[in-house]
Amino acid sequence: MKRTLSYLFIGIFFGIVMFKSEAASWFRIYEMFNFQSFHMYGIIGSALVIGIIGIQLIKRNNVKSFYGEPIKFSPKDRGVSRYLYGGIIFGLGWALAGACPGPIYTLIGAGYLPIIVVLIGSLLGTFLYGLLRKKLPH
Amino acid sequence: MEWIFEPWPWYVAGPLIALIMFLLIFIGKQFGMSSNLRTMCTMCGADKKADFFAFNWKDQRWNLMVVVGAAIGGFIGAHFLSNDVSVAINPDTITKLQSLGIESAGKAYLPTELFGLGALTDIKSLAILLIGGLLIGFGARYAGGCTSGHAISGLSNLQLPSLIAVIGFFAGGLFMIHVLFPLIF
């Protein structure tokens, strides 16, 4: 129960950050792909710099989790096709709907009802991938 | 404390996103939002149609709590932590969007042409939202992650596959906005 609540609070924190930083705004995504503002690059870039340094520190010092367990980082499977083709398809959708999967939920909470259509579409897209997976190059 | 009601700058938001990733890492989980879509498909019975969905979705309940939280956070951010939600994008971007017929640029959080209630009865807007969603869901699962899983978590862990995926995200996004938008809007 305590763990469940901690996930809920992390999610609430994430949702507030997504909304207040305007990373959940369609306009910011459009502006980013037009290279007309540093805002989105600053968000992703600063998160990344801190992330890279932090993960290196965890690995080098064998830092343990809150529960005293070793922290494991699982490497992504090798390959090019699935990441490139999947990435391009995702990018097309990200730019068109102006939302990535996290902000979809944030925008539902913020009360923009048509975003539910994007959620339904993304569930159908996920289902379609599951059906076609064996026929696709990976 | 007045700043909290203003839009948060990138140098506040970026470090907070890193903090969220580290909180999840220290609980023994990973930061990744799109895998919840697969979990929801399984909960709806998709495991009967494709073995990709045959897994114990209850192991992913923690991540479902994160997205429930993300929705609550959106509600709090929009209703209690904002005076004015209009997004002050670059004036050149506003001009560009107005030339595409998106008049709400600079005056709203999301384009009312796509996300106002009127969009629910407009075939073109519905098609844009549905197709956008389809591409997001299909692409994220094909690539094995989205912005949080690849651009933040994967790149932070210096994963080459994540770099390839992020290059793909940008190639797709640039093609959509510079080549397809003039045809769509």
Query: Both tokens of residue B105?
Result: 């640029």
The pLDDT-based confidence of B103 (bands split at 50, 70, 90) is very high
CB count in 10 Å sphere of residue B145: 31
Query: Both tokens of residue B73?
Result: 């956070």
Residues whose CB is less than 8 angstroms from the CB of residue A72 and which lie 6 or more positions away in sequence, other chains included? none
CB contact under 8 A, B71 and A15: yes
Instruction: Return the closest-CA partner of residue A113 out of B4, B112, B66, B59.
Output: B112
CB contact under 8 A, B8 and A20: yes
CB contact under 8 A, B93 and A31: yes
Contact between residue B169 and residue A90 where contact means Cβ atoms under 8 Å apart: yes
Give contacts of A52 with chain B, Cβ < 8 Å: 155-156, 158
Residues whose CB is less than 8 angstroms from the CB of residue A54 and which lie 6 or more positions away in sequence, other chains included? B18, B22, B156
CB contact under 8 A, B73 and A27: no
Nearest to B137 among A9, A77, A125 (CB): A125
d(CA A18, CA B110): 13
Instruction: Select the residue from B141, B174, B179 to test the A interface by mutation, using most A Cβ atoms within 10 A.
Output: B141
Residues whose CB is less than 8 angstroms from the CB of residue A39 and which lie 6 or more positions away in sequence, other chains included? A22, A28, A31, A32, B9, B10
A114: closest chain B residue by CA: B115
pLDDT digits 0-9 by tens, B113-165: 999 999 999 999 999 999 999 999 999 999 999 999 999 999 999 999 999 99
Residue B111 in this model has a pLDDT that exceeds 80: yes
Mark which residues 134-163 of B lie under 8 Å from A by CB. 134-148, 150-162
B17 interfaces chain A, CB cutoff of 8 Å: yes
pLDDT digits 0-9 by tens, B64-95: 999 999 999 999 999 999 999 999 999 999 99
d(CA A101, CA A103): 6
Query: Both tokens of residue B92?
Result: 């050149």
**Regions of chain A short of the pLDDT cut 70:** none
A130: closest chain B residue by CA: B52
What per-residue confidence (pLDDT) applies to B162?
A: 98
What per-residue confidence (pLDDT) applies to A90?
A: 98
Instruction: Return the closest-CA partner of residue A138 out of A88, A90, A75, A83.
Output: A83
CA angle B13, B14, B17 (to 5 degrees): 85
- Please identify which residue in the block is written with the tokens 């580290």: B22
| Size of chain B, expressed as the number of residues it contains | 185
Instruction: Return the closest-CA partner of residue B149 out of B23, B34, B10, B19.
Output: B34
CB contact under 8 A, A24 and B74: yes
Query: Both tokens of residue B96?
Result: 């560009």
What per-residue confidence (pLDDT) applies to A129?
A: 98
How large is the greatest C-alpha to C-alpha distance in chain A, in angstroms? 47
Nearest to A79 among B131, B161, B172 (CB): B161
What per-residue confidence (pLDDT) applies to A45?
A: 97
